[in-house]
Amino acid sequence: MASSAADEEPQPGDLIEIFRPAYQHWALYLGDGYIINLTPVDESPAAAVSSVKSVFSRKAVVRMQLLKEVVGGDSYRINNKYDDNHTPLAVSEIIQRAQLLIGQELSYDLLGSNCEHFVTLLRYGEAVSEQASRAIGAISLVTAAASAFSVLGLINTRSRNRPF
């Protein structure tokens, strides 16, 4: 059974963090059990619910769906974690902006334009994604490590080729 961490009811405009097996999916609560979220264009709403493919998709469509259907067997929590640093827009403005986007196809990029960016843009008027920042940091670390290993490999190769 899906549940929120505190078992509190989400309010319109709340950010909903859904815990998938390999990543977090984000949605914005509209009210009456409905959320708005991004799902891959090439999947049906039902198939997109827990698909890892959504992370690698290049296009997404804005869908209004029941929170319980999107969460499925996963867990979720209300997570307005950026409220300390960003002022939320008026709930009526958040909902109006969200409703205008339902059915629209948008470009999707894990690092620059993902589901967290989408819902924070609706809530704050600014796209923010800690998940993307962590991913960029991890990619940078791997790239730096690979560069270091290739330099070390080059140095070791040179020293092994010396005749003395």
Active site residues: 25, 115
Under DSSP, is residue 80 helix (H, G, I), strand (E, B) or coil? coil
Distance (Å, whole) CA 60 – CA 109: 9
Tokens read off for 4: 């929120």
Asked if 89 and 15 count as a contact pair (C-beta separation under 8 A), the reply is: no
Alpha helices in the chain (DSSP H): 45-48, 53-56, 67-71, 91-101, 115-124, 130-160
The conformation of residue 72, written as its DSSP 8-state character, comes to T
* Among 114, 121, 113, 123, CA closest to 78: 123
